[in-house]
Amino acid sequence: MEDIKTQMPPLTQLTEDEKMLKDAAADFADTVLKPKVMEMDEAAKLDPEIIEQFFDMGLMGIEIPEKYQGAGGSFFMSIVAIEEISRIDASVGVFMDVQNTLVNNAFLNWGSDEIHEKYLPQLATDKVGAYCLSEAGSGSDAFALKAMAKDKGDHYVLNGAKLWITNANEADIFLVFANLNPDEGYRGITAFIVERDFEGFSVSKKENKLGIRASSTCEILLEDCKVPKGNVLGEVGKGYKVAIETLNEGRIGIGAQMIGIAQGALDAALAYTQDRQQFGKSISDFQGVQFQLAKMATEIETARLLVYNSARMKENGQRFLKEAAMAKYHASEVAERVSSQAIDLFGGYGYVKEYPVEKYYRDAKIGKIYEGTSNMQLNTIAKLLLR
């Protein structure tokens, strides 16, 4: 029993490196990011200085090895950094989340030595990445995609359109999924590395969204887009594996984003209820308010434990598909409930943009939709339970 205790520290206990990055991300979020949140939300655009500072801090290449100019950190370090940034602004949280848990992870896990040498230093130092899987008729049914690729001998040609692409406005490197052999069904899907200036590639319509407004979400057009032969990530016809395995990891990142949103909403509610006076005393003195705050805090902690547990399992090489689905599902539910409750505690002030909680509520909604809807997470959990 003593050995088991030694091997299994509390999930919320961080290593020194994890704590240092968490604290650095929190300090940056509180001092640099916070004053710009509402301006970016109103403009529906990230401040370019924030993007540059993220690269300077190493937050865009956390798991990229130092030999490729990355931070040489761990997956769990990405998770705690995403959580802290999202506590202040989920738009910026998902910006770094997509870069680290989807794009960088795909390149690290599936890229050849040549691809590592060419692209990882760029992703670590100054190039934003985007992950292009979804289409108009291909959301939850991700492998119903219609984007096609043709082998032209010395290069590939891609045609089609991608929707809901996060980071599209800022990105220079795009991971695009297209079917090279439609007769093979999903086994023809291949992952291609497309650079922004490739012939036939363009970023089109930018969506006007409810929440995470500063995060760009755009349509991608592929019109006889020429891609070099060496720009296949993984193997031809194995793009479905790249997509599945990367999204499994990405869901943990979304879970981290959601607990960040929930924590930010709770922090705001705690401060407000202690400051707000009614009937001659702070409303936090009323037991009804105290109970609501206690429930919010308890829900956040349950979500955090699920997210941290799935991240630890991933790092330890254990199967984590069910746990990641649970973490993403539960954390998104908690973020929506807690942010809604925070608005209730603020009363009328919670409904206006002068106070932060209405934004937390708007930002929380996307958690139940992207990188696998809540229904898809429940489907995954149920299948694995019944297997």
Q: Which of 84, 333, 358, 371 is catalytic?
A: 371
Query: Which residues 6+ apart lie within 8 Å of 131 measured at CB?
Result: 98, 102, 103, 106, 165, 166, 174, 175, 246, 250
CA-closest candidate to residue 313, choices 361, 372, 252:
252
Q: Which residue shows structure tokens 């006889």?
A: 224
Q: What is the pLDDT of residues 33-48, one digit of tens each?
A: 999 999 999 999 999 9
Q: Which CATH superfamily is domain 241-386 in?
A: Butyryl-CoA Dehydrogenase, subunit A, domain 3 (1.20.140.10)
Contact 98, 131 (CB under 8 A): yes
**Alpha carbons within 13 A on the beta-carbon side of 36:** 19
Q: In 3-state terms, the chain is what percent helix, strand and coil (to 5)?
A: 60, 15, 25
pLDDT of residue 1: 43
Q: What is the pLDDT of residues 47-88, one digit of tens each?
A: 999 999 999 999 999 999 999 999 999 999 999 999 999 999
pLDDT of residue 142: 84
Rounded to an integer, the average pLDDT of 285-294 is 98
pLDDT of residue 8: 52
Distance of alpha carbon 130 from the chain centroid: 11
Strand, coil or helix: 30: helix
User: 4 pLDDT exceeds 50?
Assistant: no
Percent of the chain with pLDDT over 70: 98
| Burial of 309 per CB tally in 10 Å (0-12, 13-18, 19+) | middle
Rounded to an integer, the average pLDDT of 257-284 is 98
CA-closest candidate to residue 292, choices 358, 345, 346:
345
Q: How confident is the model at residue 5 (pLDDT cuts 50, 70, 90)?
A: very low
Percent of the chain with pLDDT over 90: 95
Residue 151 β-bridge partners: 156
User: What is the number of other CB atoms lying within 10 angstroms of the CB of residue 359?
Assistant: 24
Rounded to an integer, the average pLDDT of 309-336 is 97
CATH second-level architecture of 2-128?
Orthogonal Bundle (1.10)
Which segments within 167-279 are labelled E, that is strand? 171-179, 189-195, 201-206, 217-228, 232-233, 277-278
pLDDT of residue 92: 98
User: 9 pLDDT exceeds 80?
Assistant: no
CA-closest candidate to residue 26, choices 301, 362, 260, 302:
260
Provide the CATH topology of domain 130-237: Butyryl-CoA Dehydrogenase, subunit A; domain 2 (2.40.110)
pLDDT of residue 10: 72
For CATH 1.20.140.10, the residue range(s) in the chain are: 241-386
For CATH 2.40.110.10, the residue range(s) in the chain are: 130-237
As a whole number of angstroms, the distance between CA 135 and CA 228 comes to 23
Angle (CA) 54 232 371, round 5°:
55
pLDDT of residue 281: 97
pLDDT of residue 12: 82
Buried b (16+ CB within 10 A) or exposed e, 17-26: ebeebbeebb
pLDDT of residue 7: 54
For CATH 1.10.540.10, the residue range(s) in the chain are: 2-128
Q: How confident is the model at residue 143 (pLDDT cuts 50, 70, 90)?
A: confident
- How is residue 349 annotated by DSSP? G
Rounded to an integer, the average pLDDT of 321-333 is 98
CA-closest candidate to residue 150, choices 173, 122, 180:
180
Active site residue 333: no
User: 127 pLDDT exceeds 50?
Assistant: yes
Residue 138 β-bridge partners: 135
Rounded to an integer, the average pLDDT of 127-155 is 95
Angle (CA) 74 77 83, round 5°:
150
Contact 97, 253 (CB under 8 A): yes
Q: Locate 88 and state its tokens.
A: 């202040």
The secondary element (H helix, E strand) that includes residue 374 is helix 374-386
Residue 172, φ and ψ in degrees, nearest 5: -115, -20
As a whole number of angstroms, the distance between CA 311 and CA 315 comes to 6
- How is residue 188 annotated by DSSP? G
Q: What is the pLDDT of residues 300-319, one digit of tens each?
A: 999 999 999 999 999 999 99
